[in-house]
Amino acid sequence: MEKTIFIPDKEDANLPAYTEWGYNSFGAVYDRAYFLSSNAIVPCKVTYNNNLLQFSLSGRVGYYREMTLFFTFPFAQIFGYKDLVQLNNVKIDLSANDCTVKMLQDGTETTLHLLSGELYFKRAQLLRIDEEVNRVILSGTFDVRFLQNNLPANISNGRFDMGINEAVFYSY
């Protein structure tokens, strides 16, 4: 349940299929490269602080370059990871003034100059094992268009399927 499971998409086998099973996988096309989760890197962390929720995806671009995307947006009070079910069917307009998207590559963090973007939590559900809540599964899609060094760039066709528990949820 902690590992990343990669099920290839039927239309583009380089991307994971969209699932809602908590496979701890994500993928997107970053210009012409693929940004994908990896078993060597914790793929997702969620942080809540001062009424801001930060949803981060960490993986590799190509085979070697590590990258993290940080999506930060205002959200209702959350006390624990179980409260993330409130994200069910929530669309975030990332180009809104109160949202930020940052990228960490090669040790350098950059706030993206967004042209447009959307983070869609299509489904948020509790996973119970032996009638005990084990994690919240967050599944959805994302797309971001931005300027990078004054040139247009995009991260498109993004999808994620994450199991969030106390190990990757932080509130302070």
Domain that holds residue 63: 25-129+144-152+165-171
Q: Is residue 3 part of a domain?
A: no
pLDDT of 1 above 80: no
Q: Is residue 12 part of a domain?
A: no
Which two tokens mark 138? 């967050």
Per-residue pLDDT band for 72 (boundaries 50, 70, 90) equals very high
Q: Residue 9 has what DSSP assignment? A: -
Q: Is residue 159 part of a domain?
A: no
Q: Is residue 11 part of a domain?
A: no
Q: Is residue 63 part of a domain?
A: yes
Q: What is the mean pLDDT of residues 82-110?
A: 96
Domain count, the chain: 1
Q: Is residue 5 part of a domain?
A: no
**What pLDDT, on the 0 to 100 scale, is given for residue 131?**
84
Q: In whole angstroms, what is the distance from residue 41 CA to residue 68 CA?
A: 10
pLDDT in tens, 116-156: 999 999 999 998 888 888 899 999 999 999 999 899 999 99
Per-residue pLDDT band for 77 (boundaries 50, 70, 90) equals confident
Which residue is listed with tokens 């997702």?
A: 44
For residue 86, how far is the Cα from the chain centroid?
A: 16
Q: In whole angstroms, what is the distance from residue 162 CA to residue 70 CA?
A: 15
The residues, any chain, with a CB within 8 Å of residue 18's CB and separated by 6 or more, are 9, 139, 141, 159, 161
Per-residue pLDDT band for 22 (boundaries 50, 70, 90) equals very high
**What pLDDT, on the 0 to 100 scale, is given for residue 75?**
94
pLDDT above 70 as % of the chain: 99
Q: What is the mean pLDDT of residues 84-93?
A: 97
